[in-house]
C-alpha cells in the first residue's frame, strides 16, 4: 500500500506502508522519483532520475507542506 498525501505541479507525494521508521516521503514525477527525509531536516535521501531543477522543486514543496506530510505520516503509521 502506498497512500498518496497530495499531488501538486506534476508531483505525487506518498508513503510506502511497510518501510523504515525514520520519517520520510517519496516523490514521483514522470521524469523520476526521490526519497526525502523529514528528520532531522528536509533533505534528499535518494534520487532516481529527477533533474536538479525538478529535485529542487520537490524539496521546496516538501518544505512548504511538511506540516501536512508529518500529520499524514503520524496518522498513517501510528494508528
User: How would you write the pLDDT of the chain (79 residues) with one tens digit per residue?
Assistant: 689 999 999 999 999 877 788 999 999 999 999 999 999 999 999 999 999 999 999 999 999 999 999 999 998 887 5
| Dist. CA 48–CA 33, nearest whole Å | 5
**Domains in the chain: boundaries:** 4-77
Instruction: Give the global pTM.
Output: 0.93
| pLDDT value of residue 1 | 67
50-64 pLDDT, tens digit each: 999 999 999 999 999
The Cβ of residue 45 has, within 10 Å, a number of other Cβ atoms equal to 14
Q: Which helix (H) or strand (E) holds 54?
A: helix 52-64
Amino acid at each position: 500500500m502506498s497512500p498518496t498525501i497530495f499531488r501538486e505541479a506534476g508531483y505525487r507525494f506518498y508513503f510506502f506502508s511497510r518501510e523504515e521508521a525514520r520519517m520520510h516521503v517519496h516523490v514521483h514525477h514522470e521524469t523520476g522519483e526521490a526519497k526525502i527525509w523529514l528528520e532531522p531536516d528536509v533533505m534528499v535521501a535518494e534520487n532516481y532520475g529527477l533533474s536538479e531543477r525538478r529535485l529542487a522543486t520537490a524539496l521546496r514543496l516538501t518544505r512548504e507542506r511538511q506540516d501536512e506530510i508529518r500529520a499524514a505520516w503520524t496518522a498513517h503509521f501510528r494508528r
